[in-house]
Amino acid sequence: MLIDVHFHLDLMDNMQSLIHEFQTSDVGIIAVGTTPKAFGKEKKFCCGVKNIKVGLGFHPQLVFERAHEIDLFLKFVKDSQYIGEVGIDFNSSYIGSKAQQISCFRKIAKACADEGGKILSIHSVKAASTIIDELEEAGTFQTCKCIFHWFTGTSTERNRAVENGAFFSINRKMLVTKSGRELVKVIPEDRLLLETDAPFTMKFNSIVGLRAELLKLVDDISAIRAKDLSVQIEKNSLQIWEQLE
């Protein structure tokens, strides 16, 4: 089974038609969210739909204007095994909300650690060290699975994440860069997952296009590692998927 662990279904123009297609597809997605308010609505849209799992998200780029929604997020944590997209973003456009972002993520990490059994999809632009510090302090690595989405951190940060048992979701735009290819070369095979980050990287008219993209991604990752990783990546993906209700 092909599984995209980071797909923004609610931001797709053709969301309803895609939802219908997933009922009979051999492709699965984890529909990450960006705000806690959107969580209930998306769960309702996707209720009972085969091959869609819905995540509870609080995108760090939105914290500046929505920090007050953290209480709503924490209320919903018990209702979602998949937590994403969450994280911290220290890019120049968002550094002004640094303190708010750290505060919100600290609460998220602690709530997930205390609940246990969660899977987090983590945004870490220029903030990987801070995020790893928070996850270590909260104990989230010990009780949950942490996936670094579109990881762009340093080799030191990468190694810290690996040592803590983190997974990494890979998209094809990452493979265009030297650092992205290096990441794929060195992280353990059993930590590799697939993502498209649609619609930010690309849009799909149908599941056929998504399936083709994921297959191409598996081929590209295999080429970089000089071995066929299709079985291993499916095994990794199912490890995540089968933990979700």
pLDDT tens for each residue of 81-94: 999 999 999 999 99
- CA–CA dist 72, 79 (Å, integer): 12
What's the confidence (pLDDT) of residue 97?
96
> Residue 159 pLDDT more than 90?
yes
pTM of the model: 0.97
Residue 48 Cα to chain centre, angstroms = 22
Average the pLDDT over 212-227 and give the result: 98
> Residue 217 pLDDT more than 80?
yes
Q: Which two tokens stand for residue 59?
A: 């995108």
Going by their DSSP bridges, the two strands 27-31 and 2-7 should be labelled as parallel
> Residue 221 pLDDT more than 90?
yes
Residue 107 Cα to chain centre, angstroms = 18
> Residue 245 pLDDT more than 80?
no
Average the pLDDT over 4-18 and give the result: 95
Mean of the per-residue pLDDT values for the chain?
A: 96
> Residue 76 pLDDT more than 80?
yes
- CA–CA dist 10, 57 (Å, integer): 12
Residue 178, helix vs strand vs coil: helix
What's the confidence (pLDDT) of residue 50?
87
- CA–CA dist 108, 24 (Å, integer): 34
Q: How far is CA 200 from CA 105, 183, 216, in A?
A: 23, 21, 18
Burial 73-89 (b: 16+ CB within 10 A, else e): bbebbeebbbbbbbbbb
Nearest to 40, CA basis, from 21, 19, 54: 54
Q: What are the strands, taking DSSP E only, across 93-226?
A: 119-123, 145-149, 167-170, 192-194
Map out the domains of the chain as residue ranges: 2-241
CATH architecture of 2-241: Alpha-Beta Barrel (3.20)
